[in-house]
Structure 1
Amino acid sequence: MLTRNSADVIVVGAGVVGAACAHYAARCGLSVTVIDRGSVAGGTTGGGEGNLLVSDKEPGPELELALLSTRLWRELAELLPPRIEYETKGGLVVASDAARIRALRTFAAAQRRAGVTAHEVPADRLNELEPHLAPGLAGGVHYPQDAQVQPALAAAHLLRASGARLRLGEEVTGILTGANGEVRGVRTPAGDVHAPYVVNAAGAWGGELARLAGVNLPVLPRRGFVLVTEPLPRVVRHKVYAADYVADVASDAAALQTSAVVEGTPAGPVLIGASRERVGFDRTLSTEVLRRLAAQATALFPVLTRVRAIRTYAGFRPYLPDHLPAIGPDPHAPGLLHACGHEGAGIGLAPATGLLIARLLTGAEPPMDITPFGPGRFPAAA
């Protein structure tokens, strides 16, 4: 018999990935408890821009996951309230010179073979898509499948739709196990919660939760800042970024990297990212990062030089060394499943991740090969 302190599955993390896991598990008939030491979307999700991208992913397992999520986000947009601000705005990747447009053309051709819709845009047609773009660019590629949500609202409404029991402001301090090491629930300051399955959707803190279970998941935080402008008319119609952004996403460097991603929002402000650096969980404001982002954004859109930035916020992307999320059962802790390590793509990849986890929990066939995401690809804890 299930009680307030028991469930079929416990999801640790009330961000958008945890919310998606709860949503799809509940749709499969499971009772779900979601536990978070903070608030809904209080971690990585709340520090994100809401990107739902296929444009930045090379052919392979992550792109396959993104294409599945693209279809699922369309379905969720029909189910969830319009307030999640789901917007199929499309992406525009631009190149500054001939060498970069050749590289972008080759990249887009490979993506098309993998199922991505990508249309090359010659230099003299860029302003038809973005009238305020800087002159002199060499061309670009338009990705109509790229989309956007308001991430905190998406997480909140997914959780509401799931019907999951929420336990917010409760930190998981231990993993309960049985005689053979199998998961039996979690321990919190408010008491033990029992379940035969625990899903680690703790984002950048996923490595800490794994250690409580005595297993290794080498998640590291990768800090990023976003600049927010004053509300504007729709001066930026798509999600626009320079082709160099793709290389930054794939980089292993710990040092600061910035490559402007500029987009308008339904509410009016323009969001300007993206920076990446591994500095632990240091939230110290970096004026150097903000200067770089502003300079790169105004180089793409000179009109923004006359616009005020009214605030900035930081977040931590959950980084794994091979740039693939960990999705699936931990081979060293029966009953523990991981759903974290998506780096900056977690909002976009959340629905597919949630669906895969739900299928694994119920013994159903996953809709794609999950082998590349297996947590067992990392060394066991020492």
Structure 2
Amino acid sequence: MIGRRQLLATGGALGLSAIPRLGRARSPTRVVVVGAGIIGASVAYHLQSYGAAVTILEKSQPASGTSRNSFAWLNAFSKTPQSYYMLNLMGILDWHRLQQEIGPKLEIQWGGGIAWHGTAPGEIQKMRATLARLQEWGYPIGEIGRADLLGLLPGVDPGPFGAAWRSSIDGTFDPVATTHTLVDAATTKGAVLRTGVSVTGFDIQDGRIAGVKTTQGLVAADAVVLAMGNDAPPIAAMADIKLPLKRSRGVLAHTAPMPQIFSRVVMPPDCDIKQNPDGRIVTGSNFGDSGDLAPSPEVGQRFLDRLHQYFPKMPKPKLDYMTLGYRVLPVDGHPVVGRASAFGNVHVASMHSGMTMAPVIGRLLAIEVLDNVETPFLADYRPGRFA
């Protein structure tokens, strides 16, 4: 269970990183963040905001891996246990904080989320049990009827209707644009971004990692954060860290830009739909593993035909491109965050739902790295559970 102090800390999440860090050592702590996806970008931004001297190492370009191929539904819907739910809820709150800090460049659509189900009794019972749990935990979500659905989504043809829900707190964004915005905010504060750089090992001195060996030479470090998504396990192994991930594919279709149609995340029984600020609609087959489904034009057209089936009055969407992403999914389905290995100054950050949790993971991990503390919010998700 989450205690009163933790709830107060959650409520106070907004505005925390704008407060200067007092009592820092005379010279900034040199922190190397490996990876410039959404998690690495957030970690780097918060570390630099809190007084560290950050170097970001990225083998390609920011948001070129899993982040590029994410749907980016900001939510805490199916997150259990409660500690995992809380991290996702705090992530949503911290996105609002980051909008206050960074300003209009950080564009997030806070239209909420809507989903509906067919008439299968088992699905309806499962939905209502989930809603009851979320309401008990304080999530602003509730069941709605068919008339409500038709009013909220003009022109929708839901097909056989059993039940639906609406959440007012959910959001979404363009994951590539958002990652670049965070990286830019970090470099504006003084962080250094080095692209086209691969990690080849670590410089170990006196039982600690003193630097990161790369294809472009050694980068000195007082601390290292590995936020490399699916590329992390072999690099983590060089620091005696076990980071087991499992395979989970996600295929998405992206349309050419269209006039604004969707202001919220929409989830019919067999697909998911959103529209980015640039007008592109993104749709896929719910949020599970896509298996061996190919990101082909034929699959994309199938996705768009299904979209048009639910919204027959909208202009016929045109496929622009497909993406295939591999979720960063630890074997037990939960985040792996915090100090790892016998070296003491290496931290990891690997997780699914990174889009939702990125700001809170960045904030908490920055505090842990610089203040040498362990926050209870991450207690259930330490790397040591795989040792």
| TM-score where L is the length of structure 1 | 0.85
Report SS of the residue matched to 2:271.
strand
Give the 3-state SS of the residue equivalent to 1:216 in structure 2. coil
Summarize the alignment of residues 6-21 of structure 1 with structure 2, pairs less than 5 Å apart.
Answer: 8-21=30-43
Q: For residues 195 and 294 of structure 2, what CA distance do their matches in structure 1 show? A: 26
Cα deviation code 1:75-125 (max 9, x no counterpart): 111222424321101101211115223321210110111121102111221
Match of 1:92 among 110, 114, 118: 114
Matched, 1:104 2:127: yes
Could you tell me which amino acid in structure 2 is paired with residue 352 of structure 1? V
Q: Among 352, 356, 359, which residue is 2:367 paired with? A: 359
Q: Is the 8 Å Cα contact of residues 211 and 221 (structure 2) preserved in structure 1?
A: yes
1:142 aligns with 2:166: yes
Distance 1:16 1:28 in 2: 18
Matches within 5 A, 1:1-382: 8-97=30-119, 99=121, 100-135=123-158, 136-162=160-186, 163-180=190-207, 182-242=208-268, 259-274=270-285, 276-277=289-290, 285-286=295-296, 289-290=299-300, 293-294=303-304, 296-303=306-313, 306-340=316-350, 342-343=351-352, 345-363=353-371, 368-378=376-386, 380=387
1:221–1:7: structure 2 CA closer, same or farther, 3 Å change rule? farther
Asked whether the 8 Å contact 1:297–1:304 carries over to 2, the reply is: no
Q: Which runs of 5+ in 2 are unaligned?
A: 1-24
In structure 2, what is the Cα distance between the partners aligned to 1:234 and 1:158? 25
- 1:173 is paired with a residue whose SS is strand
Query: Given the superposition, is the C-alpha separation of residues 266 and 160 from structure 1 closer, same or farther in structure 2, using an over 3 Å criterion?
Result: closer
Separation in 2, partners of 1:161, 1:307 = 34
Contact 1:330 1:376 in 2 (8 A): yes
What is the identity, as a one-letter code, of the residue corresponding to 1:209? I
RMSD between aligned residues: 2.6
How far off its partner does 1:365 sit? 5.6
For 1:133-158, what per-residue CA distance to the aligned partner results, in whole angstroms no more than 9, with x for missing partners? 22432231111111112222222222
CA contact (8 A) 1:32 1:165 kept: yes
Change (3 A) 1:334 1:10: same
Higher mean C-alpha deviation, range 366-375 or range 118-127: 366-375
1:81·1:157 contact (CA, 8 Å) conserved in 2? no
Cα shift at 1:227: 0.5
d(CA) in 2 for partners of 1:107 and 1:309?
A: 34
Judge conservation of contact 2:230–2:245 (CA < 8 Å) in 1: yes
Using the size of structure 2 for normalisation, the TM-score is 0.84
8 Å Cα contact 2:75-2:88 kept in structure 1: yes
- CA distance, structure 2, for counterparts of residue 113 and residue 159 of structure 1: 37
Asked if the contact 2:34/2:40 (under 8 Å) is kept, the reply is: yes
Taking the aligned partners of 2:156 and 2:163, their CA distance within structure 1 comes to 11
AA of the residue aligned to 2:196 = G
1:217 Cα deviation from its structure 2 partner: 0.5
Match for 2:363: what amino acid?
L
Aligned to 2:14: none
d(CA) in 1 for partners of 2:86 and 2:131?
15
Structure 1 residue 230 displacement after superposition: 2.8
| Conserved? CA contact 1:226–1:313, under 8 Å | yes
CA distance in 2, matches of 1:212, 1:286: 37
| 2:199 partner SS | coil
Q: More deviation in 72-81 or 55-64?
A: 55-64
Given the superposition, is the C-alpha separation of residues 359 and 189 from structure 1 closer, same or farther in structure 2, using an over 3 Å criterion? same
Q: What percentage of residue pairs aligned between the two structures are identical?
A: 26
SS in 1 for 2:267: strand
Deviations 1:305-325 (A, max 9, x none): 932222212222111111111
In 2: Cα distance, 1:110 partner to 1:346 partner: 22
Query: Separation in 1 of the partners of 2:129 and 2:115?
Result: 13
Amino acid at match of 1:177: I
Say whether the 8 Å CA contact 1:11–1:34 is kept in structure 2.
Answer: yes
What is the rounded CA distance, in whole Å, between the counterparts of 1:227 and 1:98 in structure 2? 28
Alpha carbons of structure 1 residues 231 and 161: separation in structure 2 relative to 1, 3 Å: closer
Letter in 1 for 2:213: R
The one-letter amino acid paired with 1:120 is E
